[in-house]
Structure 1
């Protein structure tokens, strides 16, 4: 933000380089310029950091690479997000550059076969980040995207926290009970 001082305290005000970041609206499932994450059944129950990611445009509409030749729009393949990270548009340029990166990744991944291990939802988001040169980088990959959302994502609320960790904790409790009772 840049402050302009006119000498008149009543006239002094702040001017932002970009408009105020759009507000995330969890109940309406709107996550403007966000990376979003939700748990994968069974896989996340065993290892909670692994999950399904998507990316939202500047209006908050989520897109996710949900299967071969398919980009989900406004409905994630494995349920609504439980974690998100809203990106600082100053690290991209502006909302148009963000949207261009999202749309470019969507266009590319509509032509790809989904592979759980090496060309998946994380790769789709990495492609978008590379196209928009997020943080000035063009070497994002599925691992760096996964690590990024794991380290910087915030839960959508207590319900998001429970959806992420409760299955793992139940499974861990069962395993420990069996191990110590047998």
Structure 2
């Protein structure tokens, strides 16, 4: 009985709740006005902790928490943390470590941006048993496996 209750609690914890802006273990994306209209694959990306709190590289030396630079997500891809060695703890550690590292980075539009921050977190946790995530893989992941917030 207790094991079943633990599974139910974990399932509730993993529920995406757009009304409360909670996206547990998700890569999230939102459009950037004008820029996304001209280039539809260009937007702002973040990554959420296992509790759903979004972290995003919002500018030079700045990683926001629970306050995305261009508004709340419109698109997301939830990842099963059980597919990562170490589960939720490894997920949160990778998100934290990538965020701490990016607090020391200068933001550039094309070379070191919010997509790179998310890719670093996924590489640190070895998501999909890979360490070669990049901007193009992230766009592909959201485009083909993502869900619209709606």
Same fold (TM over 0.5): yes
Task: Encode CA deviations 1:71-124: one digit per residue, 9 max, x unaligned.
Answer: 011010000000111101122131001001100100110000001001100000
TM-align CA RMSD:
1.7
TM-score, structure 1 as length reference: 0.74
Which consecutive aligned stretches of 4+ in structure 1 deviate over 3 angstroms post-superposition? Answer: none
> TM-score scaled to structure 2, two decimals?
0.90
- Output the CA distance in 1 between the equivalents of 2:44 and 2:140: 13
Rg (Cα) greater in structure: 1
> Does residue 138 of the first structure (1) align with residue 138 of the second (2)?
no
Structure-to-structure mapping, 1:10-159, within 5 angstroms: 19-20=10-11, 22-93=14-85, 94-157=87-150
List runs of 5+ in structure 2 lacking aligned partners: none
Consecutive unaligned residues of structure 1, counting only runs of 5 or more, are 1-12, 158-182
Aligned 8 A contact 2:82 2:88 in 1: no
- Residue 59 of structure 1 deviates from its aligned partner by 0.5
Residue 142 of structure 1 deviates from its aligned partner by 1.7
Which string of whole-angstrom CA distances, capped at 9 and with x for unpartnered residues, describes residues 31-87 of structure 1?
Answer: 000000000111111122221100000010000000000001101000000011110
Matched residues, number:
143
Distance in 1, Cα, partners of 2:101 & 2:111: 15
Please say which of residues 53-62 and 86-95 is displaced more in the overlay. Answer: 86-95
- Residues 114-164 of structure 1 deviation map (CA, whole Å, 9 limit, x = unaligned): 01001100000000000000010011112211221122111110xxxxxxx
Q: C-alpha separation between the residues in 1 aligned to 2:112 and 2:15?
A: 31
Q: Distance in 2 between matches of 1:133 and 1:52?
A: 22
